[in-house]
Amino acid sequence: MKLATVFRSISKKMKGDFEDLSPEINHPTMKGDYNEEKIRAHLKNYLPEKYGIGEGLVLASNKEKSRQQDIIIYDRLGCPLLLNEKDAQVFPAESVYSVIEVKSKLDKNKLKNCIEKVKSVRTLPKSEGERHLGQSIVTKESSTPTGGYVFAYSAKTRLDTLRNNLNELNTQMRIKQKERIHTICILEEGLITPFAKNSFIIGDSDTPYEVLSYRKDSLLWFYIVIMSQLGISKVATPNLLVYAQM
């Protein structure tokens, strides 16, 4: 079975559910929760089991915290959640791979909100961790920077206009390269992502954003970008003694 065929089917259903059911949900918070849960469920089904999918806040060992994050991809096997309740989760910064902001219909104002939220987690410091390999044998380990993405079911503007808005806002808000959104996916339309020489640029780079009109394959390529970033990412075991003394 072709992966592209599978993802096209999933994408078509997600788009159909959004267009048919989302208008029936009048409460903005409930509508947002519904749309976020659809993409969370998809990621849970298709990311390797080592990656957990959550939502909530990211906390650094210096007491700095992020804004509320729609989707948090974290180390499911080694991450000790600092708070794990039905409506509230808090993750140590060292154990977080990536965050994704989810929007029903993306426009410039909502994009600005996404930039602020992604920056709030990407600027958090990550402490060096320790891994105990045996009696008196301890190795140091460090985490790579947290990735930041945006997923939207639709957009109010063309992709090239949205790309221009992203560049403009990054400049106006003085967003540093290491604080920026990496990729935006508009379902069934395309991606806005760093791209050069027919290749995705994974990680922080000054490569300009390009518009890639993948249409029905947008969800698949968004998944490929995320998996590529996860493949080069490292997370450290957080020092719980530091968090316990906060």
Res 201: pLDDT: 84
Cα gap 131→194, rounded to integer Å: 34
Q: Which domain holds residue 231?
A: 3-236
**Is 241 part of any domain?**
no
**Over 80: is that where the pLDDT of 161 sits?**
yes
Q: Exposed, middle or buried: residue 144 (CB in 10 Å: 0-12, 13-18, 19+)?
A: middle
Q: CB–CB of 146/194 below 8 Å?
A: no
Res 78: pLDDT: 87
Cα gap 191→134, rounded to integer Å: 46
Res 213: pLDDT: 95
**Is 246 part of any domain?**
no
**Over 80: is that where the pLDDT of 130 sits?**
no
Token pair for residue 175? Answer: 């967003």
**Is 243 part of any domain?**
no
**Is 49 part of any domain?**
yes
Our measurement of the distance from residue 18's CA atom to the centroid of its chain's CA atoms, rounded to an integer in Å, reads 20
**Is 122 part of any domain?**
yes
**Is 242 part of any domain?**
no
pLDDT digits (tens, 9 = 90+) for 16-46: 888 876 666 665 666 677 788 999 999 999 9
Q: CB–CB of 69/118 below 8 Å?
A: no
In 3D space, the residue among 100, 41, 115, 119 whose CA is nearest the CA of residue 222 turns out to be 100
Query: Structural domain tally of the chain?
Result: 1
**Is 245 part of any domain?**
no
Cα gap 96→52, rounded to integer Å: 9
DSSP state letter for 65: B
pLDDT digits (tens, 9 = 90+) for 53-79: 999 999 999 999 999 999 999 999 988
